[in-house]
Amino acid sequence: MPLILPVLDKNPVFGKHCFIAENATIVGDVQIGDHCSVWFQAIIRGDVNEIRIGNEVNIQDAAVIHCTYQKAGTYIGDRVSIGHRAIVHGCTIHSNVLIGMGAIVLDHAIIEEHVLVAAGAVVLENSKLESGFIYGGIPAKKIKALDHETFQFNIERTAKNYQMYASWFTDAKP
């Protein structure tokens, strides 16, 4: 069973039809929308601030979602994919975004809608990533425009596929 714990009387809240892997950890002031999946060894720690996650979001294996005490909550829109081993910390990610494997997004960064953050990229504190582009590197820089085919293949397809993958395990919520 996943490790789901209250912190200071704040319990995680889950929407409908979520898949939470048996070794995922979700604690504290966390709200997760409908049709989301939290994969193996992923950690969502709403112990020091709030974490709000929209609908159709997938948080892949070993990803860490956290925030900063009295400084920065974490807000994730709809149809967002957080890649394997990514770190998302105290930032805002709008809808229809892909955060690549191993990427890091730091406090007060804002990632607008329709953005792809490449694997291994580091989005520095207070950065603002403009809608409609691919960003990569350390620190993350605008690489090129996000064309329709790349958006469909990488962002839309990944969000839909993870709903399908979750259905292979269970339709039960935690």
pLDDT in tens, 102-146: 999 999 999 999 999 999 999 999 999 999 999 999 999 999 999
HSE-up (13 A, CA, CB side) for residue 172: 7
Instruction: Please give the Cα distance from 34 to 5 (Å, whole number).
Output: 20
Instruction: Please give the Cα distance from 34 to 156 (Å, whole number).
Output: 17
> pTM (2 decimals)?
0.96
Query: What proportion of the chain, given as a percentage, has pLDDT over 90?
Result: 96
Q: For residue 172, name the pLDDT band (cuts at 50, 70, 90).
A: very low
| Annotated domain spans of the chain | 3-169
The pLDDT of residue 173 is above 50:
no
CATH number of 3-169: 2.160.10.10
Which pLDDT score is estimated for 170? 75
